[in-house]
Amino acid sequence: MSRKNKSRETGVKLETTQQLSIQDDPYWKVSRIFMDIHRIGRYIERFDLFADQHPQWVDDIMEGFPTYYCVLGVYRGTPLDQVVSAYKKRIDSSIYPLQVIQEAFSVLSNLWLQTMYDDFLIVFEQYTKCLPPYEKKELIQKHSDAINAAKKFDSFMQIKDNFGDYCNLYVEGMPDLYEYAGLAKNSDIETIQRSCPNDSELVKKIYSILSTPGSRNDYDVLLAFIAENISPLGIENRKNKRELWKKFDREMVERIILLSLTEPNVIKKFFNRSNTILTTNQDWREYLPPSHESFFSILGLESDVLNADKKEVDGLIRDKYRQLERTSRVNLAYSVLKNQTLRDDYLWLFKNSTLINMLLDLFSLKTVQKPVSKRSTTDNMIEKNTPRSFM
């Protein structure tokens, strides 16, 4: 039996059901009363007509999705430019399926469709009069669940921004802050404050988060949301990646965690810069860690000498070059290190290659010593770790 014909077979008056008040979706209304289908026959006919002409409207509302106004977060009469802005925001970050968001925009950006949709909502409210109490209650509950899930998601996204790339790395097996600091999750704030060691910059950052009521609550909400929404595949992935984290150099692990807590979009920035540099300098790859040979070693230099005065560094590089046989390796090393821009790019890669390779291992991409995936692939990798992917 189709959804639009479901539960119409009875003509007996049933017990009425109380309407659930939903403040966040004022245009979604379910009638409190029950009426025989013969008394609202014209509304049923119109509802069936909408089901034929706009099946997604009917499917969405009967599945419990909020009205399209609520999906985009706008009121009736909202100017078009604000509707467009709301749509772009939802496309970037929303718990609702993409198809629902696109349909919402299609309707609310078109005055004729919006008027028709408003009429549909009136018809929907009248249609619910013929639904039996149990089905009406189920519909109200699904709608309420959808609203609450959207609230949690929005809260999560606001909190997530405060924790940089922490969520992306957490679902890839990174230890949580309690575990890394050796703290019980039920530790009270006073205990945490008293036990804070004068340790690394990361440990100090962790203790500052967990000993501050607001930030600790945000962090706990973050973990709870991920635990509630992560898929079985995501759980298995996190379990497997935990073993990979144990093999990483501890100093690099600390650096990754600290960066994830302090710098927004740091993973994407690292991948984008390394891809940009290596795309135009393919012959650098074999002279980056973990290779024992570098442009510095070829010229007989220590990497830390490049922190000296520019003229002094340039002179030192020239002197070293003059003493060496002009092989292709030596010429390449000299051509890179004598140029300030190329030198800065190479030095950045040299210092960050180990960290980048660790990140690529976590996200199952190729290492920097081998051809790196195109930027679009990297972007997709970052996007796949947003809540949409593990829900």
CA dist 369 and 322 (Å) reads 29
Burial 356-372 (b: 16+ CB within 10 A, else e): bbbbbbbbebebbbeeb
- Classify the C-alpha dihedral 211-215-220-226 as positive or negative: negative
Delimit the domains of the chain by residue range. 3-155, 166-262, 266-390
CA dist 391 and 386 (Å) reads 9
pLDDT in tens, 182-195: 888 888 888 888 77
DSSP-derived secondary structure letter, 18: P
Token representation of residue 344: 């800065």
pLDDT at 80: 95
What φ, ψ does residue 63 adopt, rounded to 5°?
-85, -5
pLDDT at 92: 85
CA dist 372 and 199 (Å) reads 36
Residues in contact with 357: Cβ distance below 8 Å, sequence separation at least 6, in sequence order? 289, 290, 367, 368, 369
CA dist 363 and 152 (Å) reads 27
Q: Which amino acid is at 386?
A: T
Q: What does each C-alpha distance from 226 to 183, 184, 222, 271, 381 come to in angstroms?
A: 20, 19, 6, 25, 18
What φ, ψ does residue 288 adopt, rounded to 5°?
-120, 150
pLDDT at 17: 34
Q: What does each C-alpha distance from 175 to 182, 239, 244, 352, 387 come to in angstroms?
A: 11, 11, 11, 21, 18
DSSP-derived secondary structure letter, 9: S
pLDDT at 36: 83
Residues in contact with 261: Cβ distance below 8 Å, sequence separation at least 6, in sequence order? 163, 164, 166, 205, 209
Task: Please state the length of the chain.
Answer: 391
DSSP-derived secondary structure letter, 163: T
339-343: which pairs have CB atoms within 8 A and are 24 or more residues apart? Answer: 340/310, 342/281, 343/306
Which residue's entry shows tokens 């790019």? 345
Say if pTM beats, i.e. exceeds, 0.85.
no
Block means of pLDDT (10 residues each) for the chain, length 391 residues?
Answer: 46 34 75 86 94 97 96 92 94 90 97 97 95 93 92 86 86 92 87 78 90 91 90 91 90 92 88 95 94 94 80 90 94 94 94 92 60 32 36 35
CA dist 205 and 181 (Å) reads 10
Contact 64, 357 (CB under 8 A): no
Residues in contact with 116: Cβ distance below 8 Å, sequence separation at least 6, in sequence order? 54
CA dist 79 and 62 (Å) reads 28
CA dist 384 and 380 (Å) reads 6
CA dist 266 and 272 (Å) reads 10
Give the number of other Cβ atoms within 10 Å of residue 186's Cβ. Answer: 7
pLDDT at 351: 93
